[in-house]
Structure 1
Amino acid sequence: MMESIRVDLSDRVRFLLRVGDTALILAQRNAEWCGHAPVLEEDLALPNLALDQLGQARALLTHAGSLTGHDEDQLAYLRDEAQFLNPVLVELPHAPDNRKPGDFGFTVLRNALLAQWFLQLYGRLESSDDAELAAIAAKAVKETRYHWQHSADWVLRLGDGTAESHRRLQAALERIWPYVPELFAGTEFEALQAPWRAAIEALLQAATLKLPKDGQHIHQGHKGVHSEHLGHLLAEMQVLQRAYPGGVW
């Protein structure tokens, strides 16, 4: 079994891993819907969103790797859970009891919140003085506009749909909201909060959803302190590379 690597975290590497890990773990979660979505269109749409997110993760991890001496595969498959810097929100399973395939409403709502977060972030990174990062952001922002449109359309459809779809989406929102403050923890991300919140509040109002009260607790996934769910997800994601080091298709 391949041993884990450890990465020295300069401020720039930490930033790149935080964004790249967020895209990578969200991609892994969205890919779980392949073959299990409630309608055929989403069997195609959610895995395609996951592929976009995976592409963004690859670019960001490759850039981080150029600063650390590791390639994208090593960073994705050979770091332990405590070395991942994604927010806890993206690692949560689709249903609170982890039943498969999960709660579709939770998935599209989480995707909407994260798509708007990525939109705000990539929009700012397009003008980064890091030319490589600016190029990554310029491509990613185009993909993420579609992610926002797709997930926001579903939030509207379910929130302002039947009594049952509204009830379930409101329950998903209550489950998600305590994890939101972590998205803006750290000075690099604080500037995203006001425009993000304005867009999300407008969406929730249009979807007839009630905004939960803000919590004070900030989860610590961005510092490597994760829920039990990330370990299970990484075990599945990393098993092939760990068992057959350097294996390629």
Structure 2
Amino acid sequence: MSGDTIFTALTEEHGGDARWAFGTGFTDALAGVDTTLPAGVDGGDLALYCQMLGDDALVQAQRLVEWVTDAPELEEEVALANIALDLLGQARLLLARAGQADGTGRDEDAFAYRRGPTEFRNVHLAEAPRGDFARAVVTLLALSSSRLALFARLTDSKDPVLAAIAAKAVNELAYHREYAVSWTLRLGDGTPYSRERTAEAVAAVWPLTGELFATHSVEARLAGQGVGVDPATVRDEVHAVLARVLVEATLDAPAPFPESATAGRDGRHTELLAPLLDELQKVAREHPEATW
């Protein structure tokens, strides 16, 4: 990554392959960045919002890593690993911003490795079972489509750090969605068996999609201040995208997204998150003072 600081690198015009991860190559993710809070914005609100977005990416990345050595083809293993790296880069920057905004000075490692399940703010879909390849594809389709719509709007955030992260992330998220769309079409409009498996994946994933568009009080406050985005405002856009993809994949048109509470945003998770974090945090827990 070029640029004297992470901020200048993030705000450069993207000239490389959009599939490569960003947020790497820096000891301090926010070194040299003006991290002054926008006027009137509560640092605790901004920190929690960054945790929501960062935890979605971090937990989803950990799920995708489970496909390494287990994907149906080597090419797909590499693709899923690269998507996971993209999400880790986003998580790193967002969690670093959270630690600066809340005044604690915690770095991204402290957020990733030194929190328990009830302190994570990701949606349930990110921690949902890996399942088969069709389920992984449909999960990625739902998560990348909603995240892309959200981050496209965050490029206008009054918080310059969030705006810069979002501006770079949309390139990656567009690729993530493109990858998921291509595989949904191949599986849905493939053999009768692949179509059956994909339909089953949609049926399993759909009940978890409502939380993607449930508005947390912090999201509502920051949206009103021009810093965050109310996820409810992208519901119709994302539904239209998914409906078009599923119909073209010869699958049934989807029902409306279900209504949902903001469970994961409030730290209420399924039993699946704890073992996922055990795996993610294993080395850091065993060697708490280690440096790399």
TM-score normalised to structure 2 length:
0.78
2:214·2:262 contact (CA, 8 Å) conserved in 1? no
1:191 match: secondary structure: helix
Counterpart in 2 of 1:90? 126
Q: What amino acid maps onto 2:173 in structure 1? A: T
- Paired with 1:76 and 1:217, the residues of 2 have a C-alpha distance of 26
Q: What amino acid maps onto 2:117 in structure 1? A: E
Pairs within 5 Å for 1:64-103: 64-68=98-102, 69-95=105-131, 103=132
Percent identity, please.
42
Counterpart in 2 of 1:244? 287
What is the CA distance between 1:193 and its match in structure 2?
Answer: 0.7
Q: What amino acid maps onto 1:54 in structure 2? A: L
Counterpart in 1 of 2:87? 53
Q: What amino acid maps onto 1:224 in structure 2? A: G
CA deviation map 1:34-57 (0-9, x unaligned): 111001110110000000011011
Counterpart in 1 of 2:56? 22
1:94 match: secondary structure: coil
Matched, 1:120 2:149: yes
2:46 match: secondary structure: helix
CA deviation map 1:43-87 (0-9, x unaligned): 110000000011011011111111232110000110110010000
What is the CA distance between 1:9 and its match in structure 2?
Answer: 8.1
1:174·1:212 contact (CA, 8 Å) conserved in 2? no
The structure whose Rg is larger is: 2
1:119·1:141 contact (CA, 8 Å) conserved in 2? yes
- Paired with 1:232 and 1:119, the residues of 2 have a C-alpha distance of 28
Q: What amino acid maps onto 2:166 in structure 1? A: A
- Paired with 1:74 and 1:173, the residues of 2 have a C-alpha distance of 35
Task: Point out which structure has higher relative CO (alpha carbons under 8 A, 6+ apart).
Answer: 1
TM-score normalised to structure 1 length:
0.91
Q: Closer, same or farther in 2 for the Cα pair 1:42/1:190, shift >3 Å?
A: same
1:192 match: secondary structure: helix
Aligned partner of 1:224 among 267, 272, 276: 267
Deviates more, 1:188-197 or 1:214-223: 214-223
Moved over 3 A (4+): 212-219
Aligned partner of 1:208 among 250, 272, 277: 250
Q: What amino acid maps onto 1:157 in structure 2? A: R
What is the CA distance between 1:92 and its match in structure 2?
Answer: 1.1
Matched, 1:10 2:44: yes
1:17 match: secondary structure: helix
Matched, 1:194 2:228: no
Matched, 1:139 2:168: yes
1:108·1:151 contact (CA, 8 Å) conserved in 2? yes
Q: Closer, same or farther in 2 for the Cα pair 1:215/1:196, shift >3 Å?
A: closer
What is the CA distance between 1:118 and its match in structure 2?
Answer: 1.2
| Aligned-residue RMSD, C-alpha | 1.5
- Paired with 1:9 and 1:78, the residues of 2 have a C-alpha distance of 21
What is the CA distance between 1:248 and its match in structure 2?
Answer: 1.9
- Paired with 2:198 and 2:290, the residues of 1 have a C-alpha distance of 42
Q: What amino acid maps onto 1:67 in structure 2? A: A
Unaligned runs of 5+ in 2: 1-41, 221-229
Higher helix share: 1
- Paired with 1:9 and 1:81, the residues of 2 have a C-alpha distance of 23
- Paired with 2:68 and 2:282, the residues of 1 have a C-alpha distance of 20
What is the CA distance between 1:21 and its match in structure 2?
Answer: 0.2
